[in-house]
Copies of this chain bind each other. A is one copy, B any other.
Amino acid sequence: MAVYTEISDEDLDAFLEQYPVGRALSCKGIAEGVENSNYLVQTETGPLILTLYEKRVNPDDLPFFLGLMEHLADRGLPCPLPVHGHDGRALRTLAGRPAAMVSFLAGMWPRRVTPHHCDRLGGALARLHHAGGGFAMRRRNALGLEDWRPLFDRCAGHADGVHPGLRAELDTALMDLEACWPAGLPEGVIHADLFPDNVFFLRNEISGLIDFYFACTDVLAYDIAVCLNAWCFEGRGEFNVTKARRLLAAYQAERPLSDAEMAALPPLAQGAALRFLLTRLYDWVNTPDGALVRPKDPMEYLHKLRFHRGVKDPGAYGLA
């Protein structure tokens, strides 16, 4: 949930005048995304999503994100399509913040993930990787391997207060990954944050892939590793190999994994678990009491990290 910035009706009217979308009929802050302020704007020509980029997004990255959504949407991916103004620009300023509007996508994200959802996710992720192939811009992953150690250093002192022994456990996991991080794997555009709340379904088919604000150029199989973490564990922490098998099989039907990519899945999955564990830990120890956004519990990802560290063979993920 996140609506940080209030927009006056006068400011909204002046903003919309710069786009060929008609006038605003309503504008409601919506509980979607945690980094930015999002509004569902009903205009005379239909619904749109208006996003105000808050301080955690680097404005210099916005042309990459907006350009990528447009590139993917043009290639048939169900991504939000940025709306261009009369002057051709998609990005401008509203209420003192960078702002853009994108197309409204029907559908709802699955509150209860099923193996069927994982199947559809796998196919969509492979198509996203294919479609991203021709995208000319590059963006470094700002939360990749080299960023984890500095992030850990900034919250290590609080780790044992969250869970006894956490500091040493994370230090060991991080050293192991720094020593064995896979190299030479196929790279390209990855979403890097494809959690269930970023994937809309309508009538059991994918109708939207949203929130490209962590997208970057990185190892493609790392995106799979993020999804294994985000989609294939049950509420009590059990790994659901059926979901993983469906996800991987559907992915491979569109983009077969090389032997090297398959072999790299366990460390990539450890890395993905560590990445979310570290950002959640950082938010957990740095969020002031009374903040509007309640930080997510980092412990969920400690259990996932431990699972992946116990995986000796990628067959554990249901690879045939």
Contacts and interface: CB of A to CB of B under 8 A. Distances in A.
Interface in A83-123: 104-108, 110-112
A58 interface: no
A6 B106 contact: no
A30 interface: yes
Given A12-B108, A291-B290, A292-B292, A202 B25 contact: yes
Interface of A: 1, 3, 6-10, 12, 24-32, 40, 42, 47, 104-108, 110-112, 200-202, 289-292, 294
B106 A42 contact: yes
Given A25-B202, A289-B289, A289-B290, 20 more contacts: A1-B1, A1-B3, A3-B31, A6-B111, A9-B108, A9-B111, A9-B201, A10-B112, A12-B108, A25-B107, A26-B105, A26-B200, A28-B30, A28-B31, A28-B40, A29-B31, A31-B31, A290-B290, A290-B294, A292-B292
A290 B290 CA distance: 4
A42 B47 contact: yes
A25 B208 CA distance: 12
Contacts of A1: 1, 3, 29, 31, 292
A27 B56 CA distance: 26
B8 A112 contact: yes
Contact of A24 (B40, B47, B108, B112): B108
Contacts of A9: 108, 110-111, 201
Contacts of A111: 6-9
A250 to B, nearest CB: 20
Nearest to A9: B108
A245 B130 CA distance: 65
Contacts of A105: 26
Among A10, A12, A25, A110, the one with the most B-chain Cβ atoms within 10 Å of its Cβ is A25
A108 B26 contact: yes
Contacts of A289: 289-290
A291 B201 CA distance: 31
26 contacts: A1-B1, A1-B31, A3-B31, A6-B111, A7-B111, A9-B201, A12-B108, A24-B108, A25-B106, A26-B104, A26-B105, A26-B106, A26-B107, A26-B108, A27-B108, A28-B31, A28-B40, A29-B31, A30-B31, A30-B40, A31-B31, A40-B40, A42-B47, A42-B106, A290-B294, A292-B292
A17 to B, nearest CB: 14
A24 to B, nearest CB: 7
